[in-house]
Structure 1
């Protein structure tokens, strides 16, 4: 959960035993459990209040989706999941975009691989 292995957990138990003593350790552990339970309850209440306050259009809202790692993963793979039909979907990042050469010339845009004009008097 926090990247702790058995040796680290054993070291924490020994330190807790030394700090609190064998008489107060069960009371401290019970207090820590109650505090953790209260914090989880407060977080769940805040989440449900947020979802009820946002209304029915946000019924599927999950605050964990606001984590940047989850947000990017969700939006990068959404197109692939939506377009999945047995073969991998091509994305605009990997496939070259279609350029209408007539529209590009009319707008003064350069085509793929064209070199822009150089004006020696402008520099």
Structure 2
């Protein structure tokens, strides 16, 4: 979430003490703590309302599976390619040749193209 290591945090605290001053720093820290507490309460209330509105159908949904950070395009493509059962080479070649020959010799429709009044 926030990538601050220990050294950076110490620098931020020292800057806050120098810029804000030791007199006002406890007041700002208390305000920040109350803001964080109110945020937690608001988020919990929102979660409770969403659960109540959606009902029992969505209580067993695993929302972590829908996290976009877990998607790996290489894994998705690999899984999609490996899921299909392999087609024997002879059957695939015969099927492709048969489809090509039937498409080449298919009768062409005569007359005007169909017209749909409701499509326009």
Does TM, normalized by the shorter one, top 0.5?
yes
CA 35–95 in structure 1, closer or farther in 2 if over 3 Å, else same: closer
Unaligned runs of 5+ in 2: 105-120
Which TM-score applies when normalising by structure 1?
Answer: 0.57
Q: Could you say what secondary structure the match of 1:94 adopts?
A: helix
Aligned residues: 94
Instruction: Pick the structure with greater CA Rg.
Output: 2
Flag as ranges the 4+ runs of structure 1 deviating above 6 A: none
Structure with the larger helix share: 2
TM-score normalized with structure 2 length? 0.59
Compared CA separation, residues 64 and 105, structure 1 to 2 (3 A):
closer
* Deviation at residue 61 of structure 1 after TM alignment: 3.7
Q: Is the 8 A contact 1:47 1:63 kept in 2?
A: no
Structure 1: gaps of 5 or more residues: 78-90, 110-116, 118-123
SS in structure 2 of the partner of residue 60 of structure 1:
coil
Conserved 8 A contact 1:17-1:25? yes
1:97 pairs with 2:85: yes
1:38 aligns to what? 38
